[in-house]
Amino acid sequence: MKRMITTFVLLTTAMGAAPAVFAADAWPARPIRMIVAYPPGGGTDQVGRVMAEQLAQSLGQNVVIDNRGGATGNIGTELAARAIPDGYTLLMGNVAPNAVNVSLFKKLGFDPVKDFSPVSLVAVTPNILVAHPSMPVKTVADLVALAKAKPGALNFPSAGVGSSSHLAGEMLKSMAGIDMVHVPYKGGGPALIATISGQVQIMFATMPAAMPHVKSGKVRPVAVTTAKRSQAMPELPTIAESGVKGYEASTWYGLLAPARTPKPVIDRLHAETVKILAGPVRQRLEAQGFEPDGGTPAAFAAYIKSEITKWAKVIKQAGIPAE
């Protein structure tokens, strides 16, 4: 009996290891699923579809987008975290579920560090600080001076509590020592419409969403939130160079796999990502306001940890309660 149990355990162990061994040796032998933890049409979906299309060509297998929106990205991200780590489930990650939400939710069904094997930071998009044309705000210095002269008089909208447009504003409030009122909306679109109509005065809008309205003159661009100027709008200064030293906030998208995905699979995915982002796709993403990256798995892992720490501090200082 003891021998039978031992044999069963050995066989079970071997079977459990089989997918990883197969993935390392023969991957990819069938279609790959790429989970996007948001509905179609948003930034994560846009980047995910571009990468899925290109990876399918380079890997010789279909890469199918699986949109699993809900709970600020938590539902789809948890699904990816629990997937078999055989290289056939990937996640197009986003700053919210993969760095911010751990400080916004009392309970997550996944650990953003322990449950994933990072492949590469794919792209970053800055938020643009924009103002309604009627506002006497052309620079960050103008905004800070106005906010200090009239504490609590300025409103800024966001795509929702904990969104990049919300936290970018909270970070500026903290670092510049100003008081502005946050007005959450049900999405970035309604928030931007409120800014265009003058219901609110300023907004930290995403670059792809704001660019058409900046060009049409419906909103006035003031600065970008990233550490470096945006290639899409190089004439705009950063908030950091405008007097708020050390300010940096961005929305980022990165490719991840479930933890314990075989290293040869991660290495191959990274190599293909680097090739893709060095080709014509780079210009395609840049035209939409995304800034391609393609860094190493180790660099991406370190970046995720630094983002978790940074946003935890912002959320604590802003007094945003965990849900």
Per-domain boundaries in the chain: 2-125+250-318, 126-224
pTM of the model: 0.82
Specify the 3-state DSSP secondary structure of 109. coil
Give the pLDDT confidence score for residue 214 in this predicted structure: 94
φ, ψ (nearest 5 deg) of residue 312: -60, -40
| Pairwise CA distance, residues 49 & 70, whole Å | 19
* Backbone region of residue 84 per phi and psi (left: phi > 0; alpha: psi in -120 to 50; beta: other values): beta
Question: Domain 2-125+250-318 is of which CATH architecture?
Answer: 3-Layer(aba) Sandwich (3.40)
pLDDT in tens, the chain (323 residues): 444 444 444 444 444 444 444 445 689 999 999 999 988 877 889 899 999 999 999 999 999 999 998 888 899 999 999 999 999 999 999 999 999 999 999 899 999 999 999 999 999 988 999 999 999 999 999 999 999 999 999 999 988 888 888 999 999 999 999 999 999 887 788 889 999 999 999 999 988 888 889 999 999 999 999 999 988 889 999 999 999 999 999 899 999 999 999 999 999 999 999 999 999 999 989 888 889 999 999 999 999 999 999 999 999 988 888 77
Q: Give me the sign of the Cα torsion angle 160, 162, 164, 168.
A: positive
Give the pLDDT confidence score for residue 23 in this predicted structure: 42
Residue type, position 34, single letter: M
| C-alpha pair distances (Å), 296 with each of 119, 227, 300 | 7, 20, 6
Buried/exposed 101-132: b ≥16 CB within 10 Å, e otherwise: bbbbbeebebebeebbbbbbbbbbbbbbbbbb
Specify the 3-state DSSP secondary structure of 252. strand
Give the pLDDT confidence score for residue 309 in this predicted structure: 96
Q: At what angle do helices 2-26 and 263-278 cross, to 10 degrees?
A: 20
274: its two tokens: 């680097």
33: its two tokens: 């699923």
Cis peptide preceding 157, ω within 30 of 0: no
Give the pLDDT confidence score for residue 6 in this predicted structure: 44
| C-alpha pair distances (Å), 202 with each of 54, 125, 168, 180 | 37, 19, 12, 10
Asked whether this chain's domains 2-125+250-318 and 126-224 adopt the same fold, the reply is: yes
| C-alpha pair distances (Å), 51 with each of 26, 123, 137, 265 | 21, 11, 38, 16
Give the pLDDT confidence score for residue 25 in this predicted structure: 61
Residue 132 has, within 13 A of its CA and on its CB side, a CA count of: 18
**126-224 belongs to CATH 2.40.50.140:** no
